[in-house]
């Protein structure tokens, strides 16, 4: 401690070198981890954890599922959300002035309230159907359907556009953002479940059930879904396989993990070399001090303890400062890139511990070397 207080500038510079090494550990793990989380969030938003189930085709018309299908699917343990849609077999037109022959081939789907959450969709303009509006003549347009109908957005104020479905005029409540992994929804006009029953003669039986589950259990949910929806004949239920984007996401996670471990190891190695170099130079610079202490009766054990304690203290101080510096750098960089801030706990908690361990190991040789100097050798050093 006395050596550190009497040589404050050297101690500060030594701790600075250590702190930069530990800051590097935090930065090279935190920034890639934040980038990884941003990428994973983008892939998840596509719907990598979503499954689609429907009855196998029988003839020309799709066979409907049981009315309670969405609720039945939601009772599967790893399922986090479920929703149902049903083809109402009606046509949509931009206006009632357009004849039936000019109507679009867009599907008009009755939808339950949880669809948007289940398929990881979002509204680009306007609003989605809610519990208070599902019984009224409101529609939400998929991204592709909106383009075909010439309605790209819903004004916040003023009169909203309308479309003609059957004999009923529906007000457009919202337009959905693109959903590449849910093309059926993109090309559809969505009507509230109760409104479809009241206005379009819908019988309440869904044709497609969407399920969102925890990604690590998606394969197990796929296996159980058919038997859950149709216990008597599960083979008649078609369930989509997990998206290829999920496989890409898992491969990316594995690659990132290996990369982070490699970078952290290199950064720790560099930090250890810096600590060892600092302590060796300290021994060379303080030979006369070592000789004087030995001449005054200090034992080799005391000399070893002095230099080892100094190495540990410098490393601990540098580790604390480096961890804080690294966290600030990660937060700043992630903010500039609009990424979620992810700082691995191991990098923060292990930064100081790693610094102390590396400092102790790196300071061991210099402390032993200092203790082996005889008083005459040390005092004679220039």
**Segment holding 89, helix H or strand E:** none
pTM, 2 dp: 0.62
Residue pair 291/371 in contact (Cβ under 8 Å)? The answer is no
Residue 99 is encoded by which pair of tokens? 């004849």
Find, among 220, 175, 185, the residue nearest to 49 by Cα. 220
Give bridge partners of residue 191 from the DSSP assignment: 110, 139
Measured CA to CA, the distance from residue 347 to residue 353 in angstroms comes to: 10
Q: How far apart are CA 205 and CA 70, in angstroms?
A: 10
Alpha helices (H) along 211-344: 218-229, 244-285, 287-295, 300-336
Nearest to 200 by CA among 166, 234, 223: 166
CA separation for the pair 64, 230 (Å, rounded): 11
As a whole number of Å, the CA-based R_g of the chain is: 34
- The per-residue pLDDT string of the chain (382 residues; one tens digit each, 9 = 90 and over) reads 555 555 566 666 667 777 777 787 788 778 877 887 887 777 666 667 888 898 877 655 566 788 888 889 999 989 999 999 999 989 888 876 665 554 567 899 999 988 998 888 889 999 999 988 999 999 999 999 999 888 988 988 888 999 999 889 999 999 999 987 788 899 999 999 999 999 998 988 999 999 998 878 888 898 899 889 888 888 888 888 766 666 666 666 666 666 666 766 676 666 666 666 666 666 666 666 766 777 777 777 887 777 777 777 777 887 788 888 888 998 998 888 888 888 877 767 766 777 777 777 766 776 676 677 676 665 565 5
Alpha carbon of 201 to those of 20, 66, 148, 193, 336: distances in Å? 70, 17, 25, 11, 52
Q: Are 15 and 321 in contact (CB under 8 A)?
A: yes
> What tokens appear for 347 in the block?
């990098």
CA atoms within 13 A on the CB side of 64: 17
280 close to 272: Cβ distance less than 8 angstroms: no
Closest of 42, 34, 195, 54 to residue 129, by C-alpha: 195
């Amino acid at each position: 401690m006395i050596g550190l207080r009497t040589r404050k500038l050297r101690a500060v510079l030594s701790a600075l070198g250590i702190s930069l090494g530990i800051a590097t550990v935090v930065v090279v793990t935190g920034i890639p981890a934040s980038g990884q989380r941003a990428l994973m969030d983008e892939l998840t938003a596509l719907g990598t954890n979503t499954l689609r189930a429907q009855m196998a085709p029988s003839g020309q018309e799709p066979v409907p599922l049981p009315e309670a299908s969405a609720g039945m699917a939601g009772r599967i343990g790893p399922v986090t959300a479920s929703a149902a849609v049903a083809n109402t077999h009606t046509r949509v037109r931009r206006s009632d002035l357009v004849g039936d022959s000019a109507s679009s081939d867009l599907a008009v789907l009755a939808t339950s309230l949880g669809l948007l959450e289940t398929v990881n969709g979002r509204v680009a303009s306007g609003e989605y159907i809610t519990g208070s509006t599902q019984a009224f003549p409101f529609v939400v347009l998929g991204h592709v359907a909106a383009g075909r109908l010439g309605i790209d957005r819903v004004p916040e104020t003023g009169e909203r556009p309308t479309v003609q479905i059957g004999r009923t005029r529906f007000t457009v409540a919202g337009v959905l953002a693109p959903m590449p992994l849910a093309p059926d929804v993109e090309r559809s006009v969505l009507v509230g479940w109760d409104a479809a029953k009241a206005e379009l003669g819908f019988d309440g039986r869904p044709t497609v059930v969407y399920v969102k589950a925890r990604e690590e259990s998606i394969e197990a949910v796929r296996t159980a879904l058919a038997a859950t929806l149709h216990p008597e004949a599960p083979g008649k239920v078609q369930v989509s396989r997990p998206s290829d984007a999920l496989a890409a996401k898992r491969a990316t996670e594995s690659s990132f993990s290996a990369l982070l471990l490699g970078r952290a190891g290199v950064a720790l190695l560099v930090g250890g070399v810096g600590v060892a170099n600092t302590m060796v130079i300290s021994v060379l610079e303080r030979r006369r001090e070592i000789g004087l202490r030995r001449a005054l009766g200090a034992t080799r054990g005391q000399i070893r303890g002095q230099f080892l304690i100094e190495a540990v203290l410098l490393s601990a101080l540098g580790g604390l400062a480096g961890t804080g510096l690294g966290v600030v750098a990660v937060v700043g960089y992630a903010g500039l890139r609009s990424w979620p801030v992810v700082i691995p706990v191991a990098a923060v908690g292990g930064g100081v511990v790693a610094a102390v361990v590396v400092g102790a190991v790196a300071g061991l040789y210099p402390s032993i070397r200092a203790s082996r100097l005889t008083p005459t050798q040390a005092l004679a050093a220039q």
